[in-house]
């Protein structure tokens, strides 16, 4: 199978991402990420144990222009040739900040504007360091705070959703589990940290594998962690519980990936989205890929969690095909891929 030609826009693209709690600006030039600046609001939302939309919008307004300026300076770019912005799906207040900023800058600089679907950004984030090696079609596992999907990626812009979660996303399972274990927010990274010294076999938690081969389910896991905390009380060993929770999520994801590799016969696997930063998941899927003789690509962890580099990449590929959006570009909290 020959590698599909992926053509990037020939010039600096400014990417903007504000769909949740990260304000990010990035510059890609041809096939390289030249700057990727992320201002995280995690500390701000920590006191509420999750993202407060109004607080997030205000923080995006404050951080947006400094982040853009830093990205331009780092990339030594005075004026980009185009602007790509996440316009769907996400928290509407944050999306509005990004889209309004993108429109104002595109108008001032007289450059094309392009709206990007957040999930397309995640799917194409692997291209940051695998443009030459990546095969199409491939199987993509996208695991984030709001999504858990297996996607057949025929080519950039051509996606078929093969399976999705029927309840919580994998990231939600990490976040809700972390809250129940008293680890706070953001949950995934904290569970991973505590799991490092824990025994994953200490508390067997259910690996949710619905009979339907095409779906994920994580809500039962949250209930199981709640029961575990109630049963063990102060005797609960938090590192062991964190390791057990992580093992259950990783096990459920790996089982579905194995099934999809068998069913589809695809020979390339990618892992993207915030939960893809999880080291245990990365290691496990690498093993799965080896077992099935498929090649495996996952971006650097810094490009797994929300960032504007992936938005600039997705925008760059569409701009290279001659696509761009009008200044009437709108944002939408929900949108299919």
Q: Summarize as ranges the residues that interact with Zn ion (CB under 5 A).
A: 144, 306
Q: Which is nearer to Zn ion, 135 or 305 (CB)?
A: 305
Specify the residue, 135 or 144, whose C-beta has the smaller distance to ligand KG4. 144
**Smallest distance from Zn ion to CB 329, Å:** 20
CA-derived radius of gyration, the chain: 20
Binding mask 19-38 for ligand KG4 (x = CB under 6 A): -x------------------
Per the structure block, which two tokens stand in for 80? 């980009």
Residues 6+ apart with CB under 8 A from 143: 169, 170, 171, 253, 271, 272, 273, 274, 275, 276, 281
Give the residue, chosen from 174, 203, 216, 218, that forms a contact with ligand KG4 under the rule CB under 6 A: 174
> Number of helices (H) and strands (E), helices first, in the chain?
11, 11
Nearest partner of 121 among 215, 48, 16, judged by Cα? 16
CB of 241 to Zn ion, least distance (A): 26
| Cis ω for the linkage preceding 200 (within 30 of 0) | no
- Residue given tokens 């569409």 in the structure block: 318
217 sits near ligand KG4 (criterion: CB under 6 A): no
Residue 84 touches ligand KG4, criterion: CB under 6 A: no
Chain CA centroid to CA 103, Å = 24
Q: Does 146 bind ligand KG4 (CB under 6 A)?
A: yes
Stretch that binds ligand KG4, among 46-54, 199-207, 214-222, 269-277 (CB under 6 A): 269-277
Residues that bind ligand KG4 (CB under 6 A): 20, 144-146, 171, 174-175, 186-189, 192, 273-275, 277-278, 305-306
């Amino acid at each position: 199978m020959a590698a599909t030609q992926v053509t990037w826009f020939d010039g600096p693209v400014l990417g903007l991402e504000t769909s949740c709690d990260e304000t990010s600006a990035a510059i890609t030039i041809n096939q390289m990420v030249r700057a990727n600046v992320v201002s995280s609001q995690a500390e701000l939302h920590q006191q509420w144990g999750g993202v407060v939309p109004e607080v997030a919008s205000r923080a995006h307004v404050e951080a947006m222009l400094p982040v853009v300026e830093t990205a331009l300076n780092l990339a030594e770019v005075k004026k980009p040739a185009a602007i790509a912005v996440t316009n769907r799906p996400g928290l509407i207040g944050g999306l509005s900040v990004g889209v309004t900023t993108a429109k104002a800058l595109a108008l001032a600089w007289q450059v094309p504007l392009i709206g990007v679907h957040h999930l397309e950004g995640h799917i194409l984030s692997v291209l940051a360091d695998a443009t030459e090696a990546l095969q199409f079609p491939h199987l993509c596992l996208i695991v984030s705070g709001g999504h858990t999907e297996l996607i057949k990626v025929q080519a950039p812009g051509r996606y078929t959703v093969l399976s999705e979660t029927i309840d919580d996303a994998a990231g939600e399972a990490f976040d809700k589990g972390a809250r129940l274990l008293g680890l706070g927010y953001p949950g995934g990274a904290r569970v991973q940290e505590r799991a490092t010294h824990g025994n994953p076999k200490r508390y067997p938690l259910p690996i949710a594998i619905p009979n339907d081969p095409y779906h994920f389910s994580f809500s039962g896991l949250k209930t199981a962690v709640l029961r575990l905390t109630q049963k063990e009380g102060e005797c609960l060993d938090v590192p062991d519980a964190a390791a057990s929770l992580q093992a259950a999520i990783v096990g459920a994801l790996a089982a579905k990936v194995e099934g999809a590799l068998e069913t589809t016969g695809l020979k390339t696997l990618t892992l993207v989205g915030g939960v893809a930063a999880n080291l245990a998941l990365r290691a496990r899927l690498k093993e799965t890929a080896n077992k099935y003789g498929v090649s495996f690509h996952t971006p650097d962890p810094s490009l797994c969690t929300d960032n504007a580099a992936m938005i600039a990449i997705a925008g760059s590929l569409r701009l290279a095909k001659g696509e761009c959006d009008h200044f009437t570009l709108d944002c939408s909290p929900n949108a299919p891929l």
